[in-house]
Amino acid sequence: MESESPSVDSESPALKLRAFKHLPGLRQLRLGPSAVELGQGHDFPPDLESLLLDRMRVTRSLASQLALQSLVSLRLEHCKVHAAALRLPAGLRVLVLTGTGFSGLPSFPSTLETLDLSSSNVSKSELAGCALPCLAHLVLRGCKRVTSSVTDVLVDACPMLRELDVRDTRVRHVLDVRPLAQLSKLSVDCSVTVSYHVSYHAGLKISHF
């Protein structure tokens, strides 16, 4: 049966990536551990919109070929990848890079709206070098190098940020979100006191865990 947004979820160890190349209309693809032999980027379906790789090794060669023009969502969950080698699509809106299997940060497209770096080794200095004018959702949960001073760099890196998750980080005692004027949702550990601007953040929802 055909659908408007065909998808494939594969865990078959014998499946090769090129098997998807000629599937017309394939929009979503999820590949699990050792599901395929990752070949060249041209083996991806040409109209793919969402790609999820779970616990896989992404070579530099493949990482440089993920800039599929149709891709709007890319999720590399607990993959081994050199993030700085990633070539991301110009129109990408959702990017997930979780786990400690990557080093460095890629060059982010200006269209990015959601960025999830959970449980990674990302640091404040790396975030300071980012330019994310459209970013609305940022997840830094479990990032042990993130401290309370992270808001100092986010105000310039992510001026439109609306949702921030800093649970299970090195954010301790007090977090000052007054510089983040657009912030409407914040997730922090229960021990953290949040300092915010009453006028700017009248509708701010703070979730303590």
Instruction: Report the pLDDT value the prediction gives residue 6, as an integer from 0 to 100.
Output: 58
Total-model pTM: 0.86
Instruction: Report the pLDDT value the prediction gives residue 19, as an integer from 0 to 100.
Output: 61
Percent of the chain exceeding pLDDT 70 equals: 84
CA distance 46 to 44: 6
What is the DSSP code string of 69-124? TT--EEEEES-EEEGGG----TT--EEEEESSSEES-----TT--EEE-TT----H
The end-to-end CA distance of the chain, in Å, is 44
Task: Among 22-36, 78-92, 130-144, 185-199, name the one with the lowest average pLDDT.
Answer: 22-36
CA atoms within 13 A on the CB side of 179: 14
Instruction: Report the pLDDT value the prediction gives residue 14, as an integer from 0 to 100.
Output: 40
Structure tokens at 180: 């983040």
pLDDT tens for 95-120 read 999 987 777 788 899 999 999 999 99
Mean pLDDT of 6-15: 50
Task: Among 14-23, 100-109, 135-144, 168-177, name the one with the lowest average pLDDT.
Answer: 14-23
Domain 14-208 architecture: Alpha-Beta Horseshoe (3.80)
Backbone conformation region of residue 160, classed left if phi is above 0, alpha if psi is from -120 to 50, else beta? alpha
* Better pLDDT: 66 or 181: 181
* Better pLDDT: 71 or 38: 71
- What's the length of the chain? 209
pLDDT confidence tier of residue 137, bands split at 50, 70 and 90: very high
Q: What is the mean pLDDT of the chain?
A: 84
